[in-house]
């Protein structure tokens, strides 16, 4: 039986991203209970009170600060904790620090939860999704990374702006790593079912694919450079994944999980492909048609993630 909203969602990490996610879940009526867990209990408590007071104008949702024991009966546990990248810090340095943090968090969750559904948002997202699945011992379909869901949203928004069409009519994916090696899949992009190239011919326009691809890839860095952090976009992306789960929508979303042996050279890594998502997590993974260049780029993305993970896993 489908539910209108989830019963209980635990958000690990009450920083900007965790707080924005909690607020978005409340506004979109996706939970009866939202629990914020953070090593800084005052921060978590303050964020919970702030979001809770907003429910007086909207819908009564229980929002509170709590501990890891709250994971025992949670419908979904969302992991946002970790440090932000500092000026001059390499991605490898960031990964090594956050892998250590994520291991501890995952162990704390699994002390209380039995077969939980985990949604990993912390960065570097694909590396940490793989580590959470390894440490938790859960089936890969129950450890979902937010992956390229936000990158895909940026890609579609950029295309829609250039064509002056409604973004909901643009179908296109960014796949692979949530990071520099992500792959914008132009070859299967379409506008309301019309292949993009055909639509361009009809409208007598030509998109600058290179510029849009780079703007999509660098979208997060641009926001961080302007305001110091990005959290609203990712909170909407996470909320969309949550909705697919709690409403058992069987929605196809570009999310990340550890791929099995049937994926050949991609097996054992976590990166994004279109996945059907429902109440029990990832139900099925799909391969979209790719150009030769896109296939090569995805293979390279997979190899980069393998090499990157090998440098951080022994921390």
Three-state DSSP class for residue 8 = strand
Measured CA angle at 168 (ends 154, 241), to 5 deg: 65
What DSSP character marks residue 262? G
Binding-site residues from annotation for substrate: 91, 123-126, 151-154, 230
Spell out a b/e string for 67-81, using b for 16 or more CB atoms within 10 Å of the CB, else e.
Answer: ebebbeebbbbbbbb
Binding-site residues from annotation: 17, 38, 43, 68, 91, 104, 121-126, 146, 151-154, 230
Three-state DSSP class for residue 180 = coil
Q: 60: burial class by Cβ within 10 Å (0-12, 13-18, 19+)?
A: exposed
Three-state DSSP class for residue 143 = strand
User: For strand 270-278 and strand 251-258, is the pairing parallel, antiparallel, or unpaired?
Assistant: antiparallel
Cβ(199)–Cβ(163) under 8 Å?
yes
Cβ(31)–Cβ(7) under 8 Å?
yes
Which among 114, 117, 133 is positioned nearest to 245, based on CA atoms?
117
Which residues are identified as catalytic?
Answer: 178
Three-state DSSP class for residue 4 = coil
Q: Which contiguous run of DSSP H or E holds residue 129?
A: helix 125-136
Binding-site residues from annotation for NAD(+): 17, 38, 43, 68, 104, 121-123, 146
Using CA atoms, how far apart are residues 30 and 257, in angstroms rounded to an integer? 23
Taking the CB of residue 41, how many other CB atoms lie within 10 A of it? Answer: 14
Establish whether the linkage from the previous residue to 120 is cis, with ω within 30° of 0.
no
Cβ(242)–Cβ(234) under 8 Å?
no
């Amino acid at each position: 039986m489908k539910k209108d909203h989830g019963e209980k969602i635990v958000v690990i990490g009450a920083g900007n991203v965790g707080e924005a996610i909690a607020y978005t879940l409340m506004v979109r009526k996706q939970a009866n209970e939202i629990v914020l867990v953070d090593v800084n209990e005052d921060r978590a408590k303050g964020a919970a009170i702030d979001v809770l007071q907003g429910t007086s104008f909207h819908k009564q949702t229980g929002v509170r600060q709590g501990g890891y024991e709250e994971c025992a009966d949670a419908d979904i546990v969302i992991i946002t904790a970790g440090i932000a990248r500092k000026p001059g810090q390499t991605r490898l340095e960031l990964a090594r620090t956050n892998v250590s943090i994520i291991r501890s968090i995952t162990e704390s969750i699994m002390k209380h939860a039995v077969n939980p559904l985990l949604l990993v948002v912390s960065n570097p997202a694909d590396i940490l999704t793989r580590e959470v699945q390894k440490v938790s011992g859960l089936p890969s379909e129950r450890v979902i990374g937010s992956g390229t869901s936000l990158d895909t949203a940026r890609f579609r928004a950029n295309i829609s702006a250039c064509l002056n069409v409604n973004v909901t009519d643009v179908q296109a994916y960014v796949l692979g790593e949530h990071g520099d090696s992500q792959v914008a899949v132009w070859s299967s992009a379409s506008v309301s079912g019309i292949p993009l190239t055909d639509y361009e011919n009809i409208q007598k326009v030509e998109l600058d694919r290179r510029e849009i691809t780079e703007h999509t890839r660098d979208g997060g860095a641009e926001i961080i450079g302007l305001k110091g952090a990005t959290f609203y976009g990712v909170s909407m992306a996470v909320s969309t994944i949550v909705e697919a789960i709690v409403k058992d929508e069987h929605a196809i979303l570009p999310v990340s999980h550890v791929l099995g042996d049937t994926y050949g050279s991609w097996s054992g890594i976590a990166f994004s492909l279109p996945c059907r998502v429902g109440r029990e997590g990832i139900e099925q993974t799909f391969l979209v048609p790719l150009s030769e260049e896109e296939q090569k780029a995805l293979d390279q993305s997979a190899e980069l993630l393998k090499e990157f993970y090998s440098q951080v896993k022994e921390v």
